[in-house]
Amino acid sequence: MAEIQMNKRRSAGWLLSLPLLGLASAPRAHGARPQAQVAAVVAAAAAVFMADARAVGLSVGLIEGGVAHRQHFGKRSARHAQRADDRTVYPIASLTKTFTGALLARAQRDGKLRLDDDIRQYLDGDYPNLAFGQTPIRLFHLLNHRSGLPRMLPPMPEAEPDFPSSVTYAERVNAAMAKVTGADFYAALHKVTLTAAPGAKFSYSNAAAQLAGFILERVYGAPFDALVRRFIAVPLGMRDTVIVASPEQASRRADGYENGLVQPAMSDQDQAAGALKSTLADMLAYARWQLAEQDPVVRLSHQATYSNGDYAVGLNWQMVSKGGRRVIFQDGSIPGYACLLVLHPASGIAIVLLSNEIDKDAGQRLTSMANSITGVLDQRAVLLPTD
């Protein structure tokens, strides 16, 4: 849903220099509801999601009134009746891009870069093609999907849904990505042709987020996964948020399903675009950090780099504001998995949804679930867009 929703908006310019009004001082909910009451609200919403014949399993995390709630439904694998738990590992797909955004915000705070820098400052060689007229691609464009870069670099016909093949999407993309090197990425980057000024129109791009990851590696002199550990995972106590899972972590991974078929694990080469794996326990820690908006890094990553009316995009976070309230959100999907993270700062509510099944309606069903939970807990909250 969220990735499609982003395609319906138009650019309104760079807003990073504007003050962050009211973020740290936003009101919080008064106390927490009884555990049983919250559990009933979550269970009712989850029942609707799980009633779909395609559903396999679901982990739900909720922060309300400062208290974290965790519930699990369905199965970790269709092969046996074991339910997921707080330490079950799920790929989090494009939620990875919010980590990349936080790291970019951290890099600005550390004086390593400026978010409105021309990206060519951080590339070796000459890239006249990465500007349209006098307008260059800037770092913040890499995480609001308005860079003009293609979806993948090098372009991969195998990654298109209608590509004729006798194997699954995951299998053919994995085979294609296994042949790609860093040199191939930059060679393809040299061949990009921009068709409009960066910022002018939406064009969903995993390649842009990957490039942001490569730039972060360059300015810090460390691999992307090491930066995630150093600046996010270790400080927040997120022990299972990784790109490359250990054998023990892999043993806790939920099987992912599409059309009733278990899907192979996707390549880790998506890096900063979508390669992180995590657990409900870890993602609740991440959600709490994001919800509080006390860390300047978080506040910067939530600041609009593009806006149109009540809709805005920060560093890969989407935001809708109405009546002085905001909802901040991002979703993710890869073969076998769908996920959603929703923040309601004024209500003190955060929702984490992790599913080990993907279909054409899974994102919309997760959105409906989140809205159902939110609507009961705080009728004044801004709900997620559903069109």
Q: Give the three-class secondary structure for 180.
A: coil
Q: What is the pLDDT, as a whole number, of residue 164? A: 67
pLDDT in tens, 78-129: 988 899 999 999 999 999 999 999 999 999 999 999 999 999 999 999 999 9
Q: What is the pLDDT, as a whole number, of residue 22? A: 31
Q: Give the three-class secondary structure for 348.
A: coil
Helix axes 362-377, 35-50, angle to 10 degrees: 150
Average pLDDT over every residue of 223-243: 98
Intra-chain end-to-end CA distance of the chain, in Å: 8
CATH fold label, 2-115+224-377:
Beta-lactamase (3.40.710)
Average pLDDT over every residue of 60-64: 98
pLDDT of 27 over the 70 cut? no
Q: Which of 196, 198, 202 has its CA nearest to residue 318?
A: 202
The least confident of 1-5, 69-73, 123-127, 235-239 is: 1-5
The CA distance from 210 to 221, in Å, is 16
Q: Which of 344, 332, 335, 346 has its CA nearest to residue 370?
A: 344
Which residues, including other chains, have CB under 8 Å from residue 235's CB and lie 6 or more apart? none
Tokens representing 88 are 């079950």
For 248, which DSSP code? Answer: H
Cβ-contact 356, 334 below 8 angstroms: no
Average pLDDT over every residue of 42-56: 97
Cβ-contact 348, 66 below 8 angstroms: yes
Q: What is the pLDDT, as a whole number, of residue 3? A: 40
> Dihedral through CA 260, CA 261, CA 262, CA 264, nearest 10?
-140
Long-range contacts of residues 135-139, Cβ cutoff 8 Å, at least 24 apart: 135/197, 135/198, 135/199, 136/198, 137/194, 137/198, 138/14, 138/198, 138/199, 139/104, 139/113, 139/114, 139/115, 139/212, 139/215
| pLDDT band at residue 197 under the 50/70/90 scheme | very high
* Helix (H), strand (E) counts: the chain: 12, 14
As a residue count, the chain comes to: 387
| pLDDT band at residue 17 under the 50/70/90 scheme | very low
pLDDT of 25 over the 70 cut? no
Q: Give the three-class secondary structure for 306.
A: strand
pLDDT in tens, 269-314: 889 999 999 999 999 999 999 999 999 999 999 999 999 999 999 9
The least confident of 157-171, 213-227, 348-362 is: 157-171
| pLDDT band at residue 166 under the 50/70/90 scheme | low
pLDDT of 386 over the 80 cut? yes
How many angstroms separate the Cα of 378 from the Cα of each of 32, 61, 311, 374, 384? Answer: 12, 17, 21, 6, 13
Tokens representing 162 are 């209608």
In the chain, the amino acid numbered 136 is P
Q: Please, where are the H alpha helices in the chain? A: 2-6, 35-50, 96-109, 169-177, 182-190, 206-220, 224-228, 234-236, 247-251, 280-292, 296-301, 362-377
Q: Between vectors from CA 218 to CA 213 and to CA 222, what angle results, nearest 5°?
A: 85
Cβ-contact 308, 12 below 8 angstroms: yes
pLDDT of 10 over the 90 cut? no
Cβ-contact 222, 230 below 8 angstroms: yes
Query: What phi and psi, each to the nearest 5 degrees, are found at residue 349?
Result: -115, 135
Q: What is the mean pLDDT of the chain?
A: 90
Sign of the torsion formed by the C-alpha atoms of 181, 186, 187 and 188: positive
pLDDT of 183 over the 90 cut? yes
Helix axes 182-190, 206-220, angle to 10 degrees: 120
Helix (H) or strand (E) holding 69: strand 67-74
pLDDT of 206 over the 60 cut? yes
The least confident of 28-37, 104-113, 115-124, 245-254 is: 28-37
Report CA Rg, the chain.
20
Q: What is the pLDDT, as a whole number, of residue 165? A: 64
Cβ-contact 343, 329 below 8 angstroms: yes
The CA distance from 72 to 58, in Å, is 6
- For the chain, the domains span 2-115+224-377
